[in-house]
Structures are given as structure tokens and as C-alpha cells.
Amino acid sequence: MTVTKSRWINGIDSIRFFLALIVLLSHFRDPFVLLLKGSSARPLQYLGIAINHLYFGVAAVIAFFVISGFVIHYPNRNKDRVDVGSFLLRRWLRIGLPLLVIGLIANHFGRYDNIPVWSLYCELIYYTIYPVLFKIRVSWKTKFVFAFVLSFIAAGIFGTDNFMSLIHQQDLGYNINYWQLGVPLTWLIGLPCWLLGVMLAEKIDKVDYTVSVATIWKYRVLVYLCSMLLFVLAAHAYASCLFTLNFYALLLYLWIEKEIVYYRSHHVSRLFEYCGKFSYSIYLGHELCFILLSSFIAYNAYTYFLFILLSLVISYVVYLLVEYPSHKLAQKLAAVFHNK
């Protein structure tokens, strides 16, 4: 399946599955870390510290932003206009209905804060403004540069405490979080990451090189190690995600391009591609799964992998009962709206 002949791109769903899994693992506190850090052996203590920095969930969310921009723009890359009503109806229902259902369930149990809503609100904003950005007749690269500069200015103005903490290497009101400015500004901070995906969709048909197995694994390892480094810097050197992750998105842009090109000439895993279909359900409800399972099963080193497996199973059930029907409903209603 090639990029020029298909509406979908091999490998994208596999990437989304692993990104959702990283987010899940970042929120499931690894019980092995406590055991290792509590050891009297110094090497085991260091191993525990290293494992504690393996999964940087918010870095995976930034990759989701890049992929989202790509997926949204790819079908429209050669069009002169976007069917605004049909597009917004399809995208809002696709994201909004599962969010509404899971949100109501979470709110009933007083657990709404356990849903990663900040990134989903940003996504909904990006969908809403995309038709407007599409109509602005300047290059997507220019739009990206403008958004990148604007986001950096906003981070500098409203994240002064973080900047001073970084300079003086002490807590002067430091906040590690990427979403610390709230939804009204976080969408602006993340916009350049999303636009990187749009830029990638705009150029991908013209990319004609090949990517070897060795090259793609070099990029994968580099992306992963950089995420760990950023986690360490954010946790121990006052390098807030507010300042670092937009630069990290530039590396993600290069990596995702290499993945797309790689899978033009290499087979994908059908299992991982299928698991990627319910990555949104994993992302949306994994913390609720953990809370549910914790009420029946003790969480410790013996049940850690069981929690992960059962959370994936529950997420798949949610996909079948909520996400997939929402997706199909969105498609049907959008088609009806388009034909009117």
C-alpha cells in the first residue's frame, strides 16, 4: 500500500498504539521501581531510577499531535476547499461522543480528573480552526513558523516562573507540565506541533527516498532516548515541558516521516495495526481502568503486567461498544450532511 494510492498510511495505527501504551505505562506507577530503589545494592538503585524515567507520557502526546495534523490534512492535501460542515461534524463526533460517554462515567464516580481531557480539548480546537487555516493562502510552513514563534512568546510571557527556575536551578514557582497554562492557552502552545503534521501531509507524496531497517531503528532509538532525556531534565533540572517539547516535536516530525516512508516497502504488523484502531480508547480510559481494577485486585509487582493486559482488554471492549459505533455514526451523519 503506497502513499499515493491509498487514503490510509501503513504504520500510522501501529505508532498510535505504542504511543497510547507509553501514556498508559507512564500513569501506571511501576512497582518494580520501588523495589529496586529500596534495595541496599547501589547498582539496583540506579536501575530503579532509570526504569522510573522510561516512559514520558506527555512526549507521546506531542507525537499524537503531529500524527493528528497529518491524518486531518492528508485527505485534503490536493483539494481547493474543505467541506466545513461535514468535516467538523465527523471530527467532533468522532472524538466528542466517546469523550462524553467516558466523561459521564468518570464524573459519576468522581474521577473526571483522571481523563486526559486537556489534549482532547486541544484536538477539538485544532479541528475547528483547520478550515480557517486552510483558507489562508500562505504556505503551511509559514503558518507553522508563525505559530511556533507565537507559542514560544506565550510560553515566555506566561511561564516566567519556569524560565527563572531554569536559569537559577531552583524552584521559583516551577511547573513541569506542558498544559500548565490551561486549555485557553495550551492549544496555542501545541499548535505548531499539530501543524508539523499538516506540513508532513503536504510534502509526503513528493518524498521518493527509501528507509532501511537500520535507519528506522536508529530514529526510533533516538526518539525514545531523547524523550527519556527530556523527562530527566524536566524532573531534575527545571527544564519545563512548556519550553522543551515543541523543539522535540521537530525530531518527531522527522521520525514519523521516516516511518511512513519505511512502511512503503516493508510489511506492517497486522496485530499492531489493529491495536492502533482502539488507541483512542486506551488513551481516554486507561486511568479509569486502573481505578476499576484496583478495587478488585491488589496492585503490586506480581499483578503489574496483569493490570496492563486487563486495561488493554477493557479498552478494546470500550472501543467495540463506544468508540467504533461513534466513528461509524460520525461517518454516516457527515455523509448525509455532505449530500444535502
Domains identified in the chain, total number: 1
Mean pLDDT of 26-45: 84
Residue 264 lies in a domain: yes
- Is a pLDDT exceeding 90 seen at residue 24? yes
CA-nearest of 178, 62, 76, 86 to 133 is: 76
Other CB atoms closer than 10 Å to residue 133's CB: what's the count?
A: 18
Amino acid letter, 133: L
Q: How far is CA 81 from CA 77, 119, 136, 206, in A?
A: 10, 27, 11, 21
DSSP string, 237-263: S---HHHHHHHHHHHHHHHHHHHHHHT
**Is 61 part of any domain?**
yes
Determine the Cα–Cα distance for residues 93 and 306; give it in Å rounded to an integer: 32
Task: Please say if the pLDDT value at position 329 is more than 60.
Answer: yes
Kindly state whether residue 239 falls inside one of the protein's structural domains: yes
5 within domain boundaries = no
Q: Could you list the residue range(s) of the whole structural domain that residue 299 is in?
A: 12-339
4 assigned to some structural domain? no
The CA distance from 188 to 14, in Å, is 28
Does residue 2 form part of some domain? no
Q: Does residue 6 form part of some domain?
A: no
Residue 326: which region, alpha, beta or left (left: phi > 0; alpha: psi -120 to 50)? alpha
Q: Give the pLDDT of residue 339.
A: 65
Q: Which three three-digit cell numbers place residue 301?
A: 509487582
pLDDT digits (tens, 9 = 90+) for 125-165: 999 999 999 999 999 999 999 999 999 999 999 999 999 99
Half-sphere exposure (Cβ direction) of 326: Cα atoms closer than 13 Å = 23
Whole-angstrom distance, CA of residue 162 vs CA of residue 113: 24
pLDDT category at 7 given cuts 50, 70, 90 is low
Give domain status of residue 70, yes or no. Answer: yes
Mean pLDDT to the nearest integer, 221-230: 96
Q: What does the pLDDT look like over 268-286, one tens digit per residue? A: 999 999 999 999 999 999 9
